[in-house]
Homo-oligomer: A and B are copies of this chain.
Amino acid sequence: MIKQVLLGILCGTAMLVTGILIGHFAITQSSSSSSPSWVKEVAKDVDESLIEKFLSEVDNLQIQENLRVLTKVPHMATTAGDEETVKFMLKRWQDAETGLDQAWREEYMVYLSFPDPKNPNKVTVVSPSDTVLHSAREKEKPYYPDQEDTEVVQPYAAYSPAGHAKGKLVYANQGKPSDYQLLNQTVDLRGTIAITRYGGAGRAAKAINAAPYGVLGVLVYTDPLDINDGLMSDINETYPHSWYLPPSGVERGSFNSHFGDLLTPYLAAKDETYRIPVENITGNPPIPIQPIGFEDAYALICQLAGEAAPAAWQGAFNCTYNFGGPGFKHTSLFNNSDVKIDVFNHEQVKNSSNVMGVIRGSVEPDRYVIYGNHRDSWVHGAIDPSSGTSVMLELSRVLGAMVKQGKWRPRRSIIFGSWGAEEFGLIGSAEYTEQYFTKLSERTVAYINVDIAVFANATLRASGMPSVQNVLFTAAKQVSAPGMDSMSVYDNWIRYSNRTSPAHGPIPRVGYLSGAGSDYAAFVHYLGITSMDLSYTYDRSKTNARIYPAYHTAYDTFDYASKFIDPGFVSHQAIARTAGNVLIRLADSLVLPLNCSDYAESLEDYLNTALTLYEHQLKAKNISMEPLKLAVANFRRAAAHLDHVIHGSDLANEIPLKARRINDQLMLLDRAFLDPLAFPNKYAYR
């Protein structure tokens, strides 16, 4: 009986336990108390294993193949070659297995400037009897079939007015205001032609600064001192023997001072858009200007008469750089001759395309991380911009495949932009920001720009708003430096460029995006969007080159890139991994990886510089810097408070609108520094 009772109790207990288990685990809770399916989804954060997978799949050989296709033919904006790259990008981003959710082209009608292939621009030395004593090369010297492609555009200064200028030559150093001022103290500049070297002043500025002195035309060239570490010979020194610029190489460029389409400031350049009269365009050179190679510059400068220019004006030629008589030495063959510039440029409104691609966010589709680069080049543009485009295509391939395979969808939307007509003044990206002004202002978390991905293979270079420093470091620590399995991009970077942060100690130095050197400009200056610009760059102990020597020349080819810039494409791979890692973190983090205390540190740094430079002088004029000090201190306090809130929260488990609120504060931080009417006459600078 006891056995039976015990057995009964045992069975009963077993039934009870079974029942409890069934009741607890096997029966779904009624909807009123069970957790909605989206509760987990909304707490989605960065998945480190996914980042590892991404890093392992970024392939250097894929980047190399991307570059080979992109650089097959010259693809200057709006040419047939450009259209080929549009189709290539679309094909890749619409690929069923590795493409994005959506990709399309966005077209604008933009105001461009071209030379006339049938009537090339000319630079000649003309004797008093009108004999042509010297003609500058009209095209760069071919070393490979690439340079012989009929689509290689003649070197020219886009937006230089057409016209003919003739006069005695003078040497005006870099064409800065101070250069013309100094020169004018010795030489009467009225009626002269000035030859200047690249650097020190913007392209257009070299002509704009000259015109008030009565200069009629300007030449510009790249001095071997500034680009070739002094080397000049293509027999054994320059390309095709090294990365250095051959004597006939000429840097092309846009010679307008502004960015965006010149006829439609503040408006997207659509068919129906109002266009200002051409005569209202500002920022163009008022007099003809034409770039030439240093081979021709040498022939001119070394014959100049007049006083010797100051030491700071001397370049690498084996002669003294004189001011000019004005004009040439008596002893020169060019004695008494003029220099003549004939520019036949014409302006044209042409159809330029951005190619856009999107991966739609799962949780916050109305928050955008934008990644972009321009697509147009001056000639083949292997480095500028196709190195960046090759990197963008590789990282979008890896991400696209993960999406298509159903393995991943970012928390926020990712937008890829392949901008058109950047070389004429950042036009595609500027028109995009004008067209989607409100939406982008309200929704964009960050913009990542990778234009020239690899200038050289020594170290990472990064510029950006102060808040991006931390995510850059996190990403760079997870990527191996090119060719160095045991050292990270971060550890390598800090060896080349560093500073000591009051908060973090010694760290790599992140530059500030103050200029308008690439497509980040409209995002930074017009929209106030947190932005960054990444590349691999030089070991400054090994070269003083202003920029990689083939920049904007016919030598910037696949051959040049793969032989001299990044053999094996491992630096490209490191950039793709670093930029892609940053992109994933910005898109996937529950809390945006933007740090406002680092912003405070930068503001304090700027403040201290300003105090050192100006406080004494301002005090003398009875202007106090105390309010500025107070503002920076208030910013620091608010930043510390926000950090405190973030660290004191368990945002994955709290009401989802709390994370959103914090993220909106972080997202909009840079927007707070905009002043829409700060510079009513300075295009897009707010």
A residues within 8 Å of B by Cβ? 4, 8, 11-13, 15-25, 27, 29, 33-36, 38-39, 41-42, 266, 272, 363-366, 438, 442, 624, 626-627, 653-657, 660-661, 664-665, 668, 671-672, 674-677, 680, 686
Q: Which residues of B lie under 8 Å from residue A13 when comparing CB positions?
A: 15
Q: Which residues of B lie under 8 Å from residue A686 when comparing CB positions?
A: 676
Q: Which residues of B lie under 8 Å from residue A20 when comparing CB positions?
A: 19-20, 22-23, 27
Bound: A320/B12 CA distance, A: 110
Q: Which residues of B lie under 8 Å from residue A39 when comparing CB positions?
A: 35-36, 39
Q: Which residues of B lie under 8 Å from residue A664 when comparing CB positions?
A: 366, 442
Q: How far is the CB of A108 from chain B (nearest CB, A)?
A: 15
Interface residues of chain A: helix, strand, loop or mixed (majority): helix
Contact of A657 among B22, B23, B364 (CB under 8 A): B364
| Contact across chains for B442 and A38 when beta carbons are under 8 A apart | no
Q: Which residues of B lie under 8 Å from residue A25 when comparing CB positions?
A: 23
Q: A8-B11, A29-B33, A35-B34 are in contact. Are A438 and B19 (CB under 8 A)?
A: no
Specify which of A8, A15, A17, A21 lies most central, judged by the most chain B CB atoms within 10 Å of its CB. A15
Q: A667's closest neighbor in chain B, by CB?
A: B442
Q: How far is the CB of A442 from chain B (nearest CB, A)?
A: 6
Can you identify 6 A-B contacts, CB atoms within 8 angstroms? Answer: A8-B8, A20-B23, A23-B24, A38-B655, A442-B671, A657-B657
| Other A-B pairs beyond A11-B12, A366-B664, A676-B676, 20, CB < 8 Å | A8-B11, A11-B11, A13-B15, A19-B19, A19-B22, A20-B20, A20-B27, A23-B23, A38-B655, A39-B39, A42-B656, A266-B675, A363-B655, A364-B657, A364-B661, A365-B661, A366-B665, A442-B671, A676-B686, A677-B680
Bound: A15/B16 CA distance, A: 5
Q: A662's closest neighbor in chain B, by CB?
A: B366
Q: Which residues of B lie under 8 Å from residue A657 when comparing CB positions?
A: 42, 363-364, 656-657, 660
Q: Which residues of B lie under 8 Å from residue A627 when comparing CB positions?
A: 272
Q: How far is the CB of A660 from chain B (nearest CB, A)?
A: 6
Q: Which residues of B lie under 8 Å from residue A674 when comparing CB positions?
A: 438
Q: How far is the CB of A675 from chain B (nearest CB, A)?
A: 8
Bound: A33/B438 CA distance, A: 40
Bound: A36/B655 CA distance, A: 8
Q: A15-B19, A627-B272, A668-B442 are in contact. Are A41 and B655 (CB under 8 A)?
A: yes
Q: How far is the CB of A65 from chain B (nearest CB, A)?
A: 39
Q: A654's closest neighbor in chain B, by CB?
A: B38
Contact of A34 among B33, B661, B675, B676 (CB under 8 A): B33
| Contact across chains for B266 and A677 when beta carbons are under 8 A apart | yes
Q: Which residues of B lie under 8 Å from residue A15 when comparing CB positions?
A: 12-13, 15-16, 19
Q: A30's closest neighbor in chain B, by CB?
A: B24
Bound: A124/B549 CA distance, A: 83
Contact of A19 among B18, B665, B672 (CB under 8 A): B18
Q: A11-B8, A34-B35, A668-B442 are in contact. Are A624 and B18 (CB under 8 A)?
A: no
Q: Which residues of B lie under 8 Å from residue A12 when comparing CB positions?
A: 11-12, 15
Bound: A10/B41 CA distance, A: 45
Bound: A438/B664 CA distance, A: 12
Bound: A675/B29 CA distance, A: 53
Bound: A366/B667 CA distance, A: 14
Q: Which residues of B lie under 8 Å from residue A16 when comparing CB positions?
A: 15-16, 18-19, 22
Bound: A11/B7 CA distance, A: 12
Bound: A254/B660 CA distance, A: 44
Bound: A665/B366 CA distance, A: 10
Bound: A365/B665 CA distance, A: 13
Bound: A272/B624 CA distance, A: 9
Q: Which residues of B lie under 8 Å from residue A36 when comparing CB positions?
A: 35, 39, 653, 655
Q: Which residues of B lie under 8 Å from residue A676 when comparing CB positions?
A: 676-677, 686
Bound: A168/B154 CA distance, A: 75
Q: How far is the CB of A465 from chain B (nearest CB, A)?
A: 16
Q: A630's closest neighbor in chain B, by CB?
A: B272
Q: Which residues of B lie under 8 Å from residue A22 when comparing CB positions?
A: 16, 19-20, 23
Q: Which residues of B lie under 8 Å from residue A42 when comparing CB positions?
A: 655-657
Q: A659's closest neighbor in chain B, by CB?
A: B657
Q: Which residues of B lie under 8 Å from residue A4 when comparing CB positions?
A: 4
Q: How far is the CB of A153 from chain B (nearest CB, A)?
A: 34
Bound: A22/B13 CA distance, A: 13
